[in-house]
Amino acid sequence: DQAARLNEALYGLSALQLQWASGYAAGMAAANGAEIRTPNPAADTGDALTILYGSQTGNGEQLAKDLEAAVRNKGFAVQLKSLADYKPAQLKRESLLAFVVSTHGEGDPPDDAELFREFLLSRKAPKLEQLQYSVLALGDSSYLNFCQTGREFDARLEELGAKRIAALVECDLDYDADAQGWADSVLSKLPEQIDAPDNLPRLRAVETGARHDKHRPFAAEVLVNQKITAGESSKDVRHIELSLEGSGLHYEPGDSLAIIASNPPELVRQLIDELGVGDDSPVNVDDETLPLGDALSNELEITTASLGFLKSWSALADNEKLNSILADRDQLGELIATHQIIDVVRQFPAKPGAQAFADSLRKLSPRSYSIASSLNSNPDEVHLTVAAVRYDAFGSKHWGAASTFLADRIDDGDTVRVFVEPNNRFRLPEDNSADVIMIGPGTGVAPFRAFVEERAERSADGHNWLFFGDRNFSSDFLYQLEWQRHLKQGSLDRLDVAFSRDQAEKIYVQDRLQERAADLMEWIDRGAFVYVCGDAKQMAGDVDNALIEIISAHRNISSDDAAVELKELRRSGRYQRDVY
């Protein structure tokens, strides 16, 4: 009876009116704590705005969802898709597109945008004179190829004949204001591009309760902060357990936990001394006046030397050598890769004053760590595996901001401000009978601890195979006793390890993959899912190359054809990476 009355009420409504009705129903459901999924009646019509996102960490996806909600609130037809799920052939039928795309590492596209980017930049891409578009590019200016993917999309779409409705906006780690400005610009153009009915009602935003994010983080109590490398290890790796009791936070294996940390006090002191100012010197940060010491401790990025900082400091120092480095791409890349802010300040000295120095710095951004626990196995808790970053360079000590905050400056009973960052591109298979291959050297093993715990909780009958590597067996075998217990209990079927410094020649996880090539291909051929987590600069590429070589040898095909097969595994979701 309810279905019949609903159908009668909806009969004769236009696509846009149905769009509004579905949004209204979703808002009512949200207000009552329910979730409702509704089709988009305008999704296949030319009068809809299509929002496409490519996101490595989930920030781009969330911004795309925020834009979708804002467009829906204005009563306009909209559809939202990941670039991984979007068929490039559809481009010829689009009239209005908004892209939200990130760049990770040194100019790499996010995994879910890789195939779309390959198509867009190829000769197969069609002319797009009918298309109007805008691009929001996310990146990290501590990398030389800042926002590379977004820049490529924007330039190529123009080259193909498309017209911008709003200019490309490039966002650094502190992206909120720039992203909002871009969204406002796109929204302001919608009445010109989409013919919305004059009498269409507008949605009222529904508050669904506290949502913990970087603006409203949860204060999680520290339950355990334990070093899990032996005393003779060259590394200090911590297993950290935090309480989520009362937070309402939920996470899945594969997600990350963002930490809002403070900067190392020693580094704050060094910078203030180099500047020759008082730590109580007033500075303005986001319209709030703070003592310089507090701003450097809690509000501003003082470790990573970003491109923006280097340009600002070059103007302040007016140093000929620094100016020449900035003009040389190779030298600039080397400087960014090897120098922290303190090194730049010391090597190219200037006395700009407290406010000018504060203005040269980015806002301090949350640091993300792969979650190392299953919520089903550890209710109301979240676990992390954190390697403390400490090293000597240019004659002085250096620290990682968040890692040493967690290792050195918090104890059991303290609280840490946190929020969950979902990663929908790094998920266990829904089919519990599917086999899983996990490749995670060093702290890259963290999400696989969560995977194995979760599979045990599900009583999954698929097989689990872990490849782990580190420097030394005796001091760096992270979670050794847990893996042995899982092997004994049957929740882990195979474990292959590579300890690079226990013998004359170094052995890494990619070498173990090659040694187990026949078994590896047998698992893949019967449908196994393959996961990689860890270092993006070296390890991830080495693992990719090893898998391509293994596929090539096993299939007796060229490396190029093997690379295509690996890409197809990635496209289908059977090869997933969480690399950083």
Q: What pLDDT score does 231 carry?
A: 87
Topology of domain 265-359, CATH? NADPH-cytochrome p450 Reductase; Chain A, domain 3 (1.20.990)
- Pull the structure tokens for residue 119: 């198509």
More confidently predicted of 279 and 107: 279
14-44 CB burial, b ≥16 within 10 A, e <16: eebbbbbbbbeebbeeeeeeeeeeeebbbee
Averaged pLDDT score across all residues of the chain: 90
Tell me the C-alpha distance between 147 and 170, whole Å: 6
Which of these, 525, 523, 543, 537, lies nearest to 440 by C-alpha position?
543
Q: What is the pLDDT of residues 407-419, one digit of tens each?
A: 999 999 999 999 9
Q: What pLDDT score does 574 carry?
A: 97
Q: What percent of the chain has pLDDT over 90?
A: 81
Q: What is the pLDDT of residues 431-468, one digit of tens each?
A: 999 999 999 999 999 999 999 999 999 999 999 999 99
**Confidence class for position 328, pLDDT limits 50, 70, 90:** very high
Flag whether pLDDT at 224 surpasses 50. Answer: yes
Q: What is the pLDDT of residues 503-516, one digit of tens each?
A: 999 999 999 999 99
Computed on alpha carbons and rounded to an integer, the radius of gyration of the chain in Å comes to 25
335 with 348: CB under 8 angstroms? no
Flag whether pLDDT at 80 surpasses 70. Answer: yes
Flag whether pLDDT at 33 surpasses 80. Answer: no
- Which residue carries 């809690």 as its tokens? 298
Q: What's the mean pLDDT in 84-90? A: 93
Helical axes 59-73 vs 176-193, angle rounded to 10°: 40
Flag whether pLDDT at 19 surpasses 50. Answer: no
Tell me the C-alpha distance between 471 and 506, whole Å: 9
Q: What pLDDT score does 197 carry?
A: 45
Q: What pLDDT score does 191 carry?
A: 64
Q: What is the pLDDT of residues 226-238, one digit of tens each?
A: 999 998 999 999 9
How does DSSP classify residue 246? Answer: T
Q: What pLDDT score does 4 carry?
A: 43
- H or E, element range at 136: strand 132-138
> How crowded is the C-beta side of 136, counted as CA atoms within 13 Å?
31
Residue at 270: amino acid letter: Q
Strand-pair partners of 369: 257
Q: What pLDDT score does 17 carry?
A: 42
Q: What is the pLDDT of residues 368-427, one digit of tens each?
A: 999 999 999 999 999 999 999 999 999 999 999 999 999 999 999 999 999 999 998 899
Tell me the C-alpha distance between 446 and 424, whole Å: 17
- Which residue carries 């009791």 as its tokens? 245
Q: What pLDDT score does 104 carry?
A: 85
Which of these, 65, 144, 72, lies nearest to 100 by C-alpha position?
65
Which of these, 362, 270, 267, lies nearest to 309 by C-alpha position?
362
CATH 2.40.30.10: does it fit domain 218-261+366-421? yes
SS3 306: coil
Which of these, 538, 475, 524, lies nearest to 502 by C-alpha position?
475
Q: What pLDDT score does 41 carry?
A: 40
Q: What percent of the chain has pLDDT over 70?
A: 88
DSSP 419-446: EEE--TTS---S-TTS-EEEE--GGGGH
CA angle 527, 532, 538 (to 5 degrees): 140
| Residue ranges matching CATH 2.40.30.10 in the chain | 218-261+366-421
Q: What is the pLDDT of residues 144-159, one digit of tens each?
A: 899 999 999 999 999 9
Q: What's the mean pLDDT in 494-498? A: 98
Tell the burial category of 567 from Cβ atoms under 10 Å away from its Cβ (0-12, 13-18, 19+): middle
What is the phi/psi pair of residue 49, to 5°?
Answer: -80, 125
Tell me the C-alpha distance between 499 and 478, whole Å: 12
Tell me the C-alpha distance between 263 and 400, whole Å: 8
- H or E, element range at 118: helix 114-120
| Residue ranges matching CATH 1.20.990.10 in the chain | 265-359
Q: What's the mean pLDDT in 194-212? A: 47
Q: What pLDDT score does 47 carry?
A: 65
- Pull the structure tokens for residue 8: 């009668």
CATH numeric code, 2-193: 3.40.50.360
What is the phi/psi pair of residue 450, to 5°?
Answer: -65, -40
| Residue ranges matching CATH 3.40.50.80 in the chain | 436-579
Contacts of 16-19 with C-beta under 8 Å, sequence gap 24+, read 16/42, 16/47, 16/75, 16/76, 16/77, 16/196, 16/197, 16/200, 17/197, 17/200, 18/42, 19/72, 19/75, 19/76, 19/77, 19/78
* H helix runs in 160-264, sequence order: 176-193
Flag whether pLDDT at 6 surpasses 60. Answer: no
Provide the whole-model pTM.
Answer: 0.84
Q: What pLDDT score does 106 carry?
A: 79
| Residue ranges matching CATH 3.40.50.360 in the chain | 2-193
Tell me the C-alpha distance between 260 and 368, whole Å: 9
Which of these, 233, 477, 529, 254, lies nearest to 369 by C-alpha position?
254
446 with 370: CB under 8 angstroms? yes
Which of these, 345, 384, 388, 363, lies nearest to 174 by C-alpha position?
363
Strands 464-470 and 288-291, how do they pair?
unpaired
Q: What pLDDT score does 194 carry?
A: 57
Residue at 478: amino acid letter: L
Architecture of domain 436-579: 3-Layer(aba) Sandwich (3.40)
- Pull the structure tokens for residue 309: 């900082």
Q: What is the pLDDT of residues 167-190, one digit of tens each?
A: 999 999 989 999 999 999 999 988
Please state, as a whole number, how many other Cβ atoms lie within 10 Å of the Cβ of residue 366.
19
Flag whether pLDDT at 13 surpasses 80. Answer: no
